[in-house]
Amino acid sequence: MMNTSNGMISGPSSSSASAANPQSPGIKTYFKTPEGKYKLHYEKTHPSGLLHYTHGKTVTQVLCKNIKCTFHFYVLKVVSENGFVKFWCQVTLAHLKDKPAPSTPTGTSSSSTASSGFRSATARLLGGGNGNRALSFVGGNGGAKNVGASSRIGASFAASSSNTSATNTNFDGKGTYLVFNVGDAIFISDLNSQDKDPVKSIHISNSNPMCHAFHPDAKDGHDLLIGLNSGDVYTVSLRQQLQDVGKKLVSAQHYNKDGSVNNSRCTSIAWVPGGDGSFVAAHADGNLYVYEKNKEGATDSSFSAIRDPTQFSVDKAKYSKSNPVARWHIGQGAINSIAFSNDGAYLATVGRDGYLRIFDFSTQKLVCGVKSYYGALLCCAWSMDGKYLLTGGEDDLVQVWSMEDRKVVAWGEGHNSWVSGVAFDSYWSSPNSEGSGENVMYRFGSVGQDTQLLLWDLEMDEIVVPLRRPPGGSPTYSTGSQSAHWDNIVPMGTLQPAPCMRDVPKLSPVVAHRVHTEPLSGLIFTQESLITACREGHLKIWTRPDTQPSSSSEATNPTTSKPSLTSKVGGSS
């Protein structure tokens, strides 16, 4: 169902600086892909009057402090400037379901969500920390593996399009919201409203919010995680925040109080998929903590001293009542972003040392990993089927890691600066995949500090061919010998060195579009749109192309069909 509101913003995007920027020509409000035009539909931003950076570090520079200049009759010029170290805006998508239960409970839901009485909706969550990192996470989804099923479940987002703009006083308890952080505040905007301003502003008094994550199936209502610069973590109910008229967190559960367990920056936070309320918080000192939501954030938590700071190690809490329950020391340097695979089996981390690490979450063991071409990695994201991982960072590349091959299978070249967000488009399907359950083509996107959004097509049949040419025997990629193949080449738990430039096939983007005037920090795909965010806290919602007119349907109709693509999408290699 299409949105009833057709308000199109045609002017150039607003900037936090009041003056128009002569360096930047107007940014187009649309971009073209092989399947059609993406159009700028809505813009979301923060009220500029409310912005302040009280928790930012102050760097004071004194210019021309050469006192001796006065003896040579030069004008003594002393200028004091405060350069704030601004923290980057991250954005999280949150979908609240109807409060009254529908009359027909969904039979296809798994046992883990049976108690909720109705189907869970797929929600893509992005949460990150300081310095442009994106985390892609799919909420507990009854173990749905293929994109097709997820797309059908995701169709329930159409229900929210009929929702009118909600104010705090008449909040009706449902809708799709964007949660983003700027300065010392968390803002919540209605995704489907044409209002630019957020419906809710929450000011954090003790530190700056850095990252956040939403759990659509949280049992007791505490579904939103917030990580702070001081290391503290809160869980709150998004519904309660929207219902309350105040500007503070309401009924927040507090963990790592005042950084008692870890006082370094909380850089990335995520719910454990399919879990019973567990979540993990990653920090700038290279540690990651596993929390149980239902346990008190005990102040007497303590962990053993880390034996070797360069090695991965897991320590359990000394006391059974402690929360966090475990500390994972990933390695030296900050963890910049973490991501769970859709089924919760794997946890990926990327960090300052440039390594992508993939852990088996249940056994707490390192499975595999690889180093970036060079520099830190800033973001990572899983494909819906768990077969591929995207990473991006300071080498300006988008790296595609294959879980089957245990290697980097492609490098995306096209960004002119650091890559700060990556995501797979799980709602997009290639025309070649009609009828067959196997997904042979993937669409993913990336955003960078070059202010560009790039869209990429990954067709594995074409990518694999160049890898077979190098000498060294004939590697077999048949399913039967996969395990033996892995064991021979890459032993379990190994971090691979950076690949060489000539060894990795290159991808070129399908689309390159400048979407903001400020460096970008986030990217989300939804059923009907894609959402980009810049570091200053400006969000843009880009509507997907209409390949066929969308028929009007009831809000509760679960069988809304996904429009099929008629154009042939060319492979890029």
Partner 1 sequence: MGAAGSKLEKALGDQFPEGERYFGFENFGNTCYCNSVLQALYFCVPFREQLLEYYTSNKSVADAEENLMTCLADLFSQISSQKKKTGVIAPKRFVQRLKKQNELFRSYMHQDAHEFLNYLLNEVVDILEKEAKATKTEHETSSSSSPEKIANGLKVPQANGVVHKEPIVTWVHNIFQGILTNETRCLRCETVTARDETFLDLSLDIEQNSSITSCLKNFSSTETLHAEDKFFCDKCCSLQEAQKRMKIKKPPHILVIHLKRFKYIEQLGRYKKLSYRVVFPLELKLSNTVEPYADVEYSLFAVVVHVGSGPNHGHYVSLVKSHNHWLFFDDENVEMIEESAVQTFFGSSQEYSSNTDHGYILFYESLGPTK
By C-beta, is 216 or 259 nearer to partner 1? 259
Q: Judged by CB under 8 A, does residue 15 bind partner 1?
A: yes
Q: Judged by CB under 8 A, does residue 401 bind partner 1?
A: no
Which residue from 14, 24, 201, 433 is in contact with partner 1, where contact means CB under 8 A? Answer: 24
From CA 252, how far away is CA 271, in angstroms rounded? 16
From CA 419, how far away is CA 465, in angstroms rounded? 27
From CA 199, how far away is CA 245, in angstroms rounded? 10
* Interface characters, 165-204, with partner 1 (x: CB under 8 A): ----------------------------------------
Q: Judged by CB under 8 A, does residue 310 bind partner 1?
A: no
Q: Tokens representing 90? A: 């991250």
Cβ proximity of 323 and 298 under 8 Å:
yes
Q: Judged by CB under 8 A, does residue 519 bind partner 1?
A: yes
Q: Judged by CB under 8 A, does residue 78 bind partner 1?
A: no
Q: What does DSSP say about strands 266-271 and 253-255: parallel, antiparallel, or unpaired?
A: unpaired
Task: Catalogue the long-range contacts made by 316-325 (C-beta closer than 8 Å, 24 or more residues apart).
Answer: 321/295, 321/296, 322/295, 322/298, 323/255, 323/291, 323/292, 323/295, 323/296, 323/297, 323/298, 324/255, 324/256, 324/261, 324/281, 324/289, 324/290, 324/291, 325/290, 325/291, 325/292, 325/295
Report in angstroms how near the CB of residue 237 gets to partner 1 at its nearest: 33
From CA 494, how far away is CA 529, in angstroms rounded? 38
Q: Judged by CB under 8 A, does residue 285 bind partner 1?
A: no
Specify the stretch interacting with partner 1 by CB under 8 A; choose among 72-80, 89-97, 316-324, 480-488: 72-80
Which residue from 8, 63, 76, 101 is in contact with partner 1, where contact means CB under 8 A? Answer: 63
Which residue from 99, 468, 500, 549 is in contact with partner 1, where contact means CB under 8 A? Answer: 500
Which residue from 74, 102, 321, 465 is in contact with partner 1, where contact means CB under 8 A? Answer: 74
Please tell me whether residue 463 adopts helix, strand or coil conformation: helix
From CA 228, how far away is CA 50, in angstroms rounded? 19
Sheet with 397-402, side-by-side order of all strands:
377-382, 388-393, 397-402, 407-413, 506-507
- Pick from 461, 460, 375, 458: nearest CA to 422: 458
Specify the stretch interacting with partner 1 by CB under 8 A; choose among 133-141, 335-343, 514-522, 545-553: 514-522
By C-beta, is 130 or 342 nearer to partner 1? 130
By C-beta, is 59 or 484 nearer to partner 1? 59
Cβ proximity of 388 and 515 under 8 Å:
no
By C-beta, is 123 or 380 nearer to partner 1? 380
CB contact burial 549-567 (16+ within 10 A = b; e otherwise): eeeeeeeeebebeeeebee
Q: Judged by CB under 8 A, does residue 19 bind partner 1?
A: yes
From CA 364, how far away is CA 280, in angstroms rounded? 13
Report in angstroms how near the CB of residue 90 gets to partner 1 at its nearest: 17
At a CB cut-off of 8 Å and minimum separation 6, what does 10 contact? 29
Q: Judged by CB under 8 A, does residue 396 bind partner 1?
A: yes
From CA 361, how far away is CA 395, in angstroms rounded? 28
From CA 255, how far away is CA 274, in angstroms rounded? 21
Q: Judged by CB under 8 A, does residue 489 bind partner 1?
A: no
Which residue from 54, 58, 64, 567 is in contact with partner 1, where contact means CB under 8 A? Answer: 64
Please tell me whether residue 548 adopts helix, strand or coil conformation: coil
Q: Judged by CB under 8 A, does residue 54 bind partner 1?
A: no
Specify the stretch interacting with partner 1 by CB under 8 A; choose among 25-33, 60-68, 139-147, 203-211: 60-68
- How many residues line the site for partner 1 (CB under 8 A)? 46
Which residue from 3, 449, 529, 532 is in contact with partner 1, where contact means CB under 8 A? Answer: 449
Which residue, chain included where needed, has tokens 């949460």?
127
Q: Judged by CB under 8 A, does residue 450 bind partner 1?
A: yes
Specify the stretch interacting with partner 1 by CB under 8 A; choose among 39-47, 116-124, 252-260, 413-421: 413-421
Q: Tokens representing 363? A: 């056994």
Q: Judged by CB under 8 A, does residue 85 bind partner 1?
A: yes
By C-beta, is 20 or 484 nearer to partner 1? 20
Q: Judged by CB under 8 A, does residue 274 bind partner 1?
A: no
- Pick from 17, 32, 171, 40: nearest CA to 512: 32
By C-beta, is 19 or 305 nearer to partner 1? 19
Which residue from 25, 47, 81, 172 is in contact with partner 1, where contact means CB under 8 A? Answer: 81
Q: Judged by CB under 8 A, does residue 146 bind partner 1?
A: no
Cβ proximity of 90 and 181 under 8 Å:
yes
By C-beta, is 222 or 513 nearer to partner 1? 513
By C-beta, is 147 or 504 nearer to partner 1? 504
Q: What is the DSSP letter of 135?
A: B
By C-beta, is 245 or 305 nearer to partner 1? 305
- Pick from 495, 494, 498: nearest CA to 373: 498
Report in angstroms how near the CB of residue 77 gets to partner 1 at its nearest: 7
Q: Judged by CB under 8 A, does residue 373 bind partner 1?
A: yes
- Pick from 379, 397, 383: nearest CA to 267: 379
Q: Judged by CB under 8 A, does residue 421 bind partner 1?
A: no
Q: Judged by CB under 8 A, does residue 418 bind partner 1?
A: yes
Contact residues: partner 1, CB under 8 A:
15, 17, 19, 21-24, 59, 61, 63-66, 68-69, 72, 74, 77, 81-83, 85, 130-131, 354, 373-376, 394-396, 415-418, 449-451, 498, 500-502, 517-519
